[in-house]
Chain A
Amino acid sequence: MKREIGFTLNGEAVRLEVEDQWTLLYLLREVLEMTGTKEGCGYGECGACTVIIDGKAINSCLYPAMEAEGRAITTIEGLVSKDGELHPLQTAFINEGAVQCGFCTPGMIMSAKALLDANDKPTEEEIKDAVAGNLCRCTGYVKIIDAIKSAAGGR
């Protein structure tokens, strides 16, 4: 069944029709063709699909698109400012060497952003907790943790 919903996506109001069975990830990637958000598993275990919904980091692969009604959603595409300036977390990930194959990176950055938005001086444990659901097979996480620390410190 189709229903029209409205929500805020990266600061802009959108209205569109969604199908019952669509996940938010499907809506983003397949319908809106915003492929920055990745699918690593499709069942809530890898974090590659993380987006921020009303301030919380959420696995969009498990999130029904319908539920987006009325919410504020931020994806990796929404982090770059209008004049093309990268978010401090993105810069930190780049400069600290936190990106290898990069498949986990958008999700990882979104989890980190949700953390820093709520807590601008996280401890190392809090950082690890915040990205514990984001799997990365390449980096060993060390430089990811460094990057998040550096982005937090630089604020």
Chain B
Amino acid sequence: MNSLTTVGQKIPKRDAPPKAIGAAVYIQDMKVPGMLHGKILYSKHPHARILKLDTSRAEKLAGVRAVITAADMPSTFRIGVMKDNPPLKTGKVLSIRDEIAAVAATSPEIAEEALSLIEVEYEVLPGIFDPIEAMKEGAMLLHEETKSNVLKLPWKLVCGDVEAAKKEAVFIVEDTFSTPWVTHCCLGTSGCIAQFDTNNNLTMYSNTQIPSLAQNDYIEALNAFGLKNKRVRIVQCVIGGGFGSKLDTYSYEYIAIRLSLKTRKPVKIIFSREEEFFATSPRQCTITKISHGCDREGRLMFREIEMVLDNGAYTSWGATTPSVMMLPISSLYKVPNVKYTAKCVYTNNTYSQAMRGYGNPQATFAIESSLDQLAEIAGIDPYELRLKNANEPGEVTPQRFKITSCGMKECIEEVVKRLNWKGKHGRGAGRGVGMASLIHVGGGARVYKSDGCGTIIKMDDFGKVDVFTGASDIGQGSETIIAQIVAEVLGIPIDDVNVINNDTDICPWDVGVHASRTTFVAGNAALGAALKIKSQVLEAAAKLLEEDPAYLDIKNGIVFSTRNKEKSTPLGKALRKAHYTLGGKMLMAEYFYDPKNENFDKEFKGNLSVSYAYGTHGVEVEVDKETGQVKILDYVAAHDVGKAINPLLLEGQIYGGGLQGVGYALGEKMVYVNGELKNGNFLDYKIPTAKDVPPMQAVIVETDEKDGPFGAKGIGEPGLVPTAPAIANAIYDAVGVRIKDLPITPEKVLKALKGKEKIG
């Protein structure tokens, strides 16, 4: 494995050229002959009874091919993680994104006009928009069949004895932190095209992150529609951003399917930006009560967290984020005693989904802010407190994570060095530095029964390779990483590797692009398949060269003997020889990699991932005491990534994640007032622009992860996890005020500064 030629290189993304010339086909660009356009009518109120729904005028509009309502869906059909969400609602609506009716028409404009002709009468009901209110005894129930608005989910983790540790701890801090609703803001909006063949088999053009699981969901839906034993094919167009938003299937997809069935035509639904804001599932808001304690030397003794999460009106994967939050809660730094409980609560808000980091950013904001508070009362430099408690290789954490490679200390040291921490921390006077670290799954995450990915490789007569992988590319670059791994193993130029990753009819199963798992899991699957086909190639070449395959290898597309220079042949020749022989064969190999990680047991313990990713972000800020404005002067993001398979793409993940984190820290918030989104556009919901880019350094800390493909670990999500607390800590260092409620707006800083003056 030494002297790598492709792995470790800054190879440009293979899908970049079509994207850069405007030739890439996104779902927005996709057309199918005869296609109709679907549009959805949403509720006008966050909580109301539908008294009357009259679609007759819409149906009569020229160009309208179908109008559907809940009556067109099987009455018991529900979607989502808890199966609590009918794709079209009847009786009661529970949020402003509730779908009431939908239209298919010959143009989007006609479909839109038809929506305006649908008459709905509502009886407006009082709603519950605050999870704390919704938890109260006697609160109105959103879902009448449940006993409580608190979801029946068992989020509780206990490690060691927190009560006993509390008695022994010398320094204890306790506080409450909160985070807002924020949304993915993929530049390409959601959409799909549903198409049936004459036998009622479904093809779905989609931008999902979970083709194999979505296939399963749609098959269930077809069953519910009475179409048993049908085939479902998912074809992914180029995906205009994911970040977790496409980890579930949503009402609009089932609506497109239903409209297509009814009209016998392909039906396309594309979200407008407005819909993308209010009708997709964002990262939920959280309220976190945290307490931390340490001994006299600053060794952590316990961490206790109680959390409330706004689930919204229905349930998607957002409700399962506490499972991933447990990771930093139990295992970010060494802390022997841990207690964590979380409640997900139904409200009449939008409903939540996972977003890059899967709960980790919310938890890490509380943990890393609280740690700085602890360092202060213990009289220890926050960086020393972190170093003293840092995770180490070989450690088994209280939640039974087996830490293999771990570069946390190196990441902390990188930040300290590059930020000149020692010269800058603790000066106050409007300038300050702060840091925060992260732990995340870096070797898959066994959240389902399988965490696997399949790969098929075939080679043609000329030494060119097709790799069929289950792993989707959502822009992060998995296609390139997989091609690099295969090219490296087979000793061929990367241009000879073609990766096919977007069609369930030809690609093998994969659990989905989530949990920063693709490089590790799909990478290992590609590695396994490549090794398998390589041995077949060498077998074939061995016959041709009359050499023992054990002494054969491939480089630059030439098979050669490692002990006899005379014996070599171009790869293609060996392949043709194998093919054009009586009883010959085409070379093909498959490999299914399922990491040997563990599902949590009933107590939520177990080695969720084969390896863990670490990182530390450090930031220097300047706070304007007159305006409350926070300016980032310097930003260092150090990440332990195992081996960097492609530093170019890796840096891209770090910068991209980092700036999303800056948005989360300083500006982004979906403003929901009584269940209505007040800032559902890019003007009012501001994501960072080029003008907001601070001086940023991405530092790659390499550790050797023995289970990773060529030593690599995941990096997709970590980039934004520690940003917000690092910035909050820096602001505290600069001006002595701690903002505990994201985002850290100038108004909040100013208010805190005023409050401090009064006390001071």
A residues sitting closer than 8 Å to B (CB atoms) are 29, 34-43, 45-46, 48, 75-77, 79-80, 86, 90, 93-97, 99-106, 109, 127-129, 131-145
Contact = CB atoms under 8 A, between A and B. Distances in A.
Contacts of B10: 97
A101 B235 CA distance: 17
Contact of B660 (A105, A106, A128, A137): A137
7 contacts: A35-B28, A41-B682, A97-B10, A134-B690, A137-B660, A140-B688, A140-B693
Nearest to A125: B691
B107 to A, nearest CB: 9
A106 B19 CA distance: 7
B240 A101 contact: yes
B16 A93 contact: yes
Interface in B13-43: 13, 15-26, 28-29
A128 B239 contact: no
Contacts of A29: 29
B273 A43 contact: yes
Main secondary structure of the interface of A (DSSP, over half): loop
B683 interface: yes
A143 B652 contact: yes
Contacts of A129: 691
Given A97-B651, A140-B693, 14 more contacts: A36-B22, A40-B187, A90-B21, A94-B17, A95-B12, A100-B652, A101-B238, A101-B241, A103-B240, A132-B691, A135-B687, A137-B186, A140-B696, A142-B651
B146 interface: no
A93 B655 contact: no
Given A35-B29, A140-B658, A99 B20 contact: yes
- For B15, B24, B272, B690, which residue has the most chain A Cβ atoms within 10 angstroms? B690
A139 B651 CA distance: 9
A38 to B, nearest CB: 7
B16 A94 contact: yes
Contact of A100 (B17, B273, B476): B476
B26 to A, nearest CB: 7
B485 interface: no
Contacts of B506: none
B5 interface: no
A43 B681 contact: yes
Contacts of B24: 102
Contact of A140 (B21, B189, B655): B655
Interface residues of B, number: 56
B24 to A, nearest CB: 6
Given A95-B12, A140-B696, A86 B689 contact: no
Nearest to B696: A142
A128 B186 CA distance: 21
B690 A137 contact: no
A135 B682 contact: yes
- For A37, A41, A103, which residue has the most chain B Cβ atoms within 10 angstroms? A103
B523 interface: no
Interface in B263-279: 272-273
- For B22, B475, B696, which residue has the most chain A Cβ atoms within 10 angstroms? B22
B612 to A, nearest CB: 24
B388 to A, nearest CB: 32
A103 B687 contact: no
B349 to A, nearest CB: 23
Contact of A76 (B16, B21, B476, B655): B21
A143 B655 contact: yes
B477 interface: yes
- For B15, B272, B656, which residue has the most chain A Cβ atoms within 10 angstroms? B656
A137 B687 contact: yes
A101 B188 contact: yes
B210 interface: no
Nearest to B663: A137
A128 B240 CA distance: 23
Contacts of B22: 34-37, 75-77, 106
A48 B25 CA distance: 15
B734 interface: no
Contacts of B693: 128, 140-142, 145
A35 B13 contact: no
Given A128-B691, A138-B475, A94 B682 contact: no
B700 interface: no
Contacts of A138: 187, 241, 475, 652, 656
Contacts of A100: 13, 475-477, 652, 656
B12 A40 contact: no
Given A35-B29, A97-B649, A140-B693, A109 B657 contact: no
Given A38-B28, A103-B26, A131 B690 contact: yes
Given A42-B272, A45-B683, A46-B682, A141 B690 contact: yes
Given A97-B652, A135-B689, A104 B187 contact: yes
The 10 nearest A-B residue pairs measured at CB: A36-B22, A102-B19, A101-B475, A140-B655, A140-B659, A103-B240, A76-B22, A45-B682, A35-B29, A100-B475
B526 interface: no
B659 A101 contact: no
Contacts of A37: 22
A109 B20 CA distance: 8
Nearest to B646: A97
Given A41-B681, A86-B21, A109-B20, A137 B26 contact: no
B240 A102 contact: yes
B690 A143 contact: no
Nearest to B188: A103
A93 B698 CA distance: 19
B20 A102 contact: yes
A39 B463 CA distance: 40
A20 to B, nearest CB: 13
A37 B16 CA distance: 16
